[in-house]
Structures are given as C-alpha cells and as structure tokens.
Amino acid sequence: MHAFKRLVAATLIASTTLMGLPLSANAGIVSTSDSLSTSASQSNRDQVNAFLTRSDVRQAIEQQGVDADAALQRVAAMSDAEVAQIAGRIDQAPAGGDILGLVFTVFIVLLVTDILGLTKVFPFTRSVR
C-alpha cells in the first residue's frame, strides 16, 4: 500500500509540474475576403439544398430518374464554384417559374460529374477515368 501511495504522489507531482509549463499557440491572419467567401459558399449551399428539398423540385428530379437524396449528397460533394453557379441560376429564376430549367441544370452538372468520374449517379454513363 505504501508503494501505491508513493506512485500516486509521484504522478501528481509530475502532472502538477507539467501543468505549469507554457503552451504555445499559433495563429494566422484571416483576411476579410477569406472570411466572406466561406460564409458566402455556405449560404449558397444552404440555398441549393433548400431548393432541392422543395416537393415540386423533388418530383421533377425523380421524374428525370435521379434519387433526390442522392442529388443532395452530390451537392455536398460539389466545389464552391459549382454550387455558386447553381445558386446563381436559382436567384435568376422567376418565382414559381422555370423549375424545369433549374432541374435540367442540376441534371447536367450531375451528368458531367458522372462522366468525369467524380460521382456515380446515372447507370448509363461511362467514366473517363
């Protein structure tokens, strides 16, 4: 029992001593444009996801032969530039109109990513990889 107390005391002394050592932290400067681009890309992703979760859009996507949940997963895998392009198309569309054009845009983006081998949504495509 005495050896156990000595071991615990030695461990506590060592840990207390090491707690007093200074820890170093590294920080970098984040520019305003980097900060804004991150928030803008997240806003674009939220906008596209909200568009794809609408019931009329889900029906139109499924009529094209694409699972709506798979389309949401593919949007998550897209680059920020691709998501920004789709979000721009959503902003330009008239309210309640031209949903078919937007669904067609999403279809084309998914088709191109399938052909490039980045995704596998459509069974009729062959990857170039």
Residue 106, pLDDT score: 78
Question: Alpha-carbon distance 77 to 71, whole Å?
Answer: 10
Residue 96, pLDDT score: 55
Residue 6, pLDDT score: 92
Tally of CB atoms within 10 A around 78: 20
Question: Alpha-carbon distance 110 to 83, whole Å?
Answer: 12
Task: Tell me if 75 sits within 8 A of 68, measured CB to CB.
Answer: no
Question: Alpha-carbon distance 61 to 68, whole Å?
Answer: 6
Residue 93, pLDDT score: 64
Mean pLDDT by 10 residues, the chain (129 residues): 90 84 75 72 84 83 81 82 81 62 77 77 70
Structure-token pair, residue 94? 């008239």
Residue 97, pLDDT score: 54
Structure-token pair, residue 86? 């789709």
Give the rounded distance of the alpha carbon of 68 from its chain centre. Answer: 16
Question: Alpha-carbon distance 42 to 50, whole Å?
Answer: 12
Question: Alpha-carbon distance 3 to 26, whole Å?
Answer: 42
pTM over 0.75: no
Residue 49, pLDDT score: 85
Provide the 3-class DSSP secondary structure of residue 113.
helix
